[in-house]
Structure 1
Amino acid sequence: MGFFPDEVVLLILARLPVKSLFRIKTVCKHWYSLASDKYFVQLYNEIAVKNPMLLVEISESIESQSSLICVDNLRGVSEFSLDFLHTRVKVRASCNGLLCCSSIADKGVYYVCNPVTRELKLLPKRSERPLTRFYPDGEATLVGLACDLSAHKFNVVLAGYHRTFGHRPDGTFICLIYDSDTNKWRKFVSFQDDQFSHMNRNQVVFVNGALHWLTGSSSRILALDLDCDVWRKISLPDEVCYGSGNRIYLLESDGCLSVIQISDVWMKTWVLKDYYSEEWHAADRVSLRCIKGLVQSIFPISQTSECVFFATHKQVLVYHWKSKLWKEMYSVKNSSTLPLWFSAHAFRSTIFSCN
């Protein structure tokens, strides 16, 4: 490729999978230098965030270590392993190429890792006792990961209701925030009366410097501003209908909050175009008649302006907005113990060091 200028070579390299990129760095010193430059890393990540994927934990049994599959609309299905953590873990959150995992054997032990580069960070122990005695036992109700690619830092959030032994929660909400810049935890206490289902805890979205969760009643969005440690509540679109078989999901769409509502026959999508004035725009309305048999088990996980990924009990589907076509990307060939949507996360393949 000596006849191409470096600018063109960089644009080509920036579209390779991370694993392939590591291989080409061994071709020659010049390519190693190009692929290691800070400008190239920034370019690579800017392109990568425009190609969200779907990451799913696949487990043969409760006792076995889960394997990971990554479903990419451009490159298909690839496999990841978290064996470099040297312990069984549960993926609790995903953001911009990093995963936050909790140890299954050692309650309260958390890791942040990049499964593509196989780098890991063991988070320092906290002095706090377990935040909650609810499911999952000994862990926080909410676990969030915020990876800021431009600031080269990440935060982990553990939040849960305070409960003394033998008593019901009193509404006091304890929040612990890990800051990668200081390698320390900070704490603040507030009051929350919101409850969260498993799916709502699992779908956490990081945009505008804040982490966002949809409450269990699907009536509003709870946002944590990481700059000033303040919780705020964001209203959903006025057109969102609760109950009557409607299901509501919170996702990201090209850097914006997005809400998807699924009924028996329709999928409706809204995007929060103006974050601070809470101005929602209706983005699309899709008929679900062609997948009628799967409607009750589909869960939207990740989306862009081009497509949206869904997980069902045993399948991963993708819907393309422009062509209005559905495609099966992956299907479980054995008897997986849990539905795929139970452990599915939005994912991106980025070059980001968690150390």
Structure 2
Amino acid sequence: MNSCNPKCEFFPDEVVLQILARLPIKSVFRAKCVCKLWYKLISDKYFTRLYNEVSVRNLMVLVEISEPSSESRSSLILVDNLRGVSEFSLSFINDRVKIRASCNGLLCCSSIPDKGVYYVCNPMTKEYRLLPKSRERPVSRFYPDGEATLVGLACNLSTQNYNVVLAGYHRSFGHRPERTFICSVFDSVSNKWRKFVTFQDDHFMHMKWNRVVFTNGALHWLTASCSCVLVLDLDSEVWRKMSLPNQVISGNGNRIYLLEFDGRLSVVQISDVWMNIWVMKDYEREEWHMVDRVSLRCIRGMVPGVFPISQTGEYIFLATHKQVLVYQRNTRVWMEVYSVKNSAILPLWFSAHAFRSTMFSCQ
């Protein structure tokens, strides 16, 4: 084995790869400079796939802290269940942006000063891509505020391709909004947008928030009434509705959220004293299975403002107005992992996103 360190001869290449795949991305880049062998191993596509397979198991929370001064940039906090809390920024984009969606290590951001300008970036590698304009001239605009009602990001780790979805009702200038729902899909391979139009009901007008989950080749949003899930199949470009678990009851103090659970669609229901979690057992048949029922008595004072952000089979992250909490499923222990020290404009649950650290190139 050709190595710059004789001690490394005791470790086969596969062992070295497994060790390197568990390092933070910054440490991986530094490791490439150690010797020619490590540079070759890390530069190989096999290592990229291995690193992503390992890293997707460690789900984190990315929190965008809005400062009181609207002219200042938002600061970003990364909450890692394994490595703690770290800070970084999106200043490498050279624009004031806000995060609209997160998926498998990439972020979709929109420009704050320039409406209709979107970026896709990997904040860990500091790569970014300015997306082409979705339409050549502003003959129409999204209703009601000029921006897309739904913004989705779908990143396929196996193919290293991604799609950005902008969807919403359009209206021509000087006219009332129509029932035509416009959807534009950006493809990273062709570097082009494609557009399709559908006629939709009020479910598309009244969305709970732009919390999107990508799984099974489709994007999923929860409606404001919590009556169903809106699904966009990216292959067929067809919108459809998906039913929630029969046991889910909205209203009467119950709050419903849509999350991912180890690659599957999940529904979380929070009441005053319980958090019930369902996972999609059979996607084709839309069969749900309850996997956990968590008592909230330990955080009773925080329950009215608690908001689930991301989860795995081992833990679940939740945000409140000023804190990020983690619940360890095995030990049933609650911990505060981050708290805002200054006065932020928005509550943390409003600007918290599920995040993974991957070697996903946005170029």
Q: Which TM-score applies when normalising by structure 1?
A: 0.96
CA offset digits 1:118-160 (Å, max 9, x no partner): 00110011226364232xx321000000000111100000000
Describe how 1:7-18 pairs up with structure 2 within 5 A: 7-18=14-25
Q: Distance in 2 between matches of 1:197 and 1:250?
A: 16
Residue matched to 1:94: 102
Residue matched to 1:25: 32
Residue matched to 1:244: 252
1:43 paired with 2:50, answer yes
Residue matched to 1:314: 322
- Aligned counterpart in structure 2 of residue 53 of structure 1, from 44, 55, 60: 60
CA offset digits 1:51-79 (Å, max 9, x no partner): 11110101212221111111110011111
Q: Distance in 1 between matches of 2:29 and 2:205?
A: 40
SS of residue in 2 equivalent to 1:258: strand
SS of residue in 1 equivalent to 2:278: strand
Residue matched to 1:173: 181
Describe how 1:227-306 pairs up with structure 2 within 5 A: 227-306=235-314
CA offset digits 1:18-48 (Å, max 9, x no partner): 1111111111111111111111100000111
- How many angstroms does 1:202 deviate by? 2.8
Over aligned residue pairs, what C-alpha RMSD do you find?
Answer: 1.3
Q: Distance in 1 between matches of 2:342 and 2:206?
A: 27
Describe how 1:199-210 pairs up with structure 2 within 5 A: 200-210=208-218
**Does the CA-based 8 Å contact 1:92-1:102 persist in structure 2?**
yes
Residue matched to 1:132: 142
1:164 paired with 2:172, answer yes
SS of residue in 2 equivalent to 1:293: helix
Q: What is the number of residues matched between the two proteins?
A: 352
Q: Match for 1:39: what amino acid?
A: Y
Moved more, 105-114 or 163-172: 163-172
- How many angstroms does 1:80 deviate by? 1.9
- How many angstroms does 1:81 deviate by? 1.1
SS of residue in 2 equivalent to 1:310: strand
Provide structure 2 residue ranges, at least 5 long, that are not aligned to the other structure.
1-6
Describe how 1:79-158 pairs up with structure 2 within 5 A: 79-127=87-135, 129=138, 131-134=141-144, 137-158=145-166
Provide structure 1 residue ranges, at least 5 long, that are not aligned to the other structure.
none
**Does the CA-based 8 Å contact 2:143-2:177 persist in structure 1?**
no
**Does the CA-based 8 Å contact 1:89-1:104 persist in structure 2?**
yes
- How many angstroms does 1:167 deviate by? 4.2
Q: After the TM superposition, which segments of 4 or more aligned residues of structure 1 sit over 4 Å from their partners?
A: 195-198
Residue matched to 1:192: 200
Residue matched to 1:70: 78
CA offset digits 1:309-339 (Å, max 9, x no partner): 0111100000111111101010000101110
Q: Match for 2:63: what amino acid?
A: V
**Does the CA-based 8 Å contact 1:131-1:174 persist in structure 2?**
no
- How many angstroms does 1:201 deviate by? 3.0
Percent identical across equivalent pairs?
A: 70
Residue matched to 1:346: 354
Q: Which TM-score applies when normalising by structure 2?
A: 0.94
Q: Match for 2:32: what amino acid?
A: K
Q: Distance in 1 between matches of 2:174 and 2:317?
A: 43
Q: Distance in 2 between matches of 1:79 and 1:37?
A: 29
- How many angstroms does 1:300 deviate by? 0.3
